[in-house]
Amino acid sequence: MPEKLITSKILAEITDNPAFELIFTECVADPSFMETFNRLTGSNINFQAKPKDAISFLIDQATGFDGIIVKPEEMEKLVYLIFRTAYLPLQDQFETEIKESINVQKRD
C-alpha cells in the first residue's frame, strides 16, 4: 500500500486553517492551475462538472450532486501539491516580512 502524502502533521496544520483554505480555493479556482495539475498527474479533477443533458441535470438536482468529480487519491495529491508549493512558500514569505517589519520598528 502506498504511503500517504498527507501526514498527521500536515493534516493538523491545514485543518481549520483559514490561510490554507484561502490559498487552496484560489488555486482550484484557476482553470490553468487545474488543467496543468490534471495533465501532470494524470488526474481528472473537475470542480465544475456540467450535466450533459436536461435529464442528467434533473438527476443531479434530485440527488444533490454538486458538480465536483474527484477521486480521494487525486484530492490527496492536489492538497499535498498546494500545501508544498503554495502554502509553505507563502507562509515563509509572510514570516520573513513580519520579522523584517519588527526589526525596522526596533531600529526606529
DSSP state at residue 6: S
- pLDDT class of 105 with cuts at 50, 70, 90: confident
Q: Mean pLDDT in the chain?
A: 87
Q: How far apart are the first and last CA of the chain?
A: 57
pLDDT at position 36 over 80? yes
The whole-number average pLDDT for the span 31-35 is 93
Q: How far is CA 45 from CA 26, 32, 50, 76, 97, in A?
A: 15, 13, 13, 11, 35
pLDDT at position 32 over 90? yes
pLDDT digits (tens, 9 = 90+) for 60-73: 778 877 667 788 89
Residue 52 CA to chain centroid, in angstroms?
A: 26
What's the grid cell of residue 68? 465536483
Indicate yes or no: pTM above 0.85: no
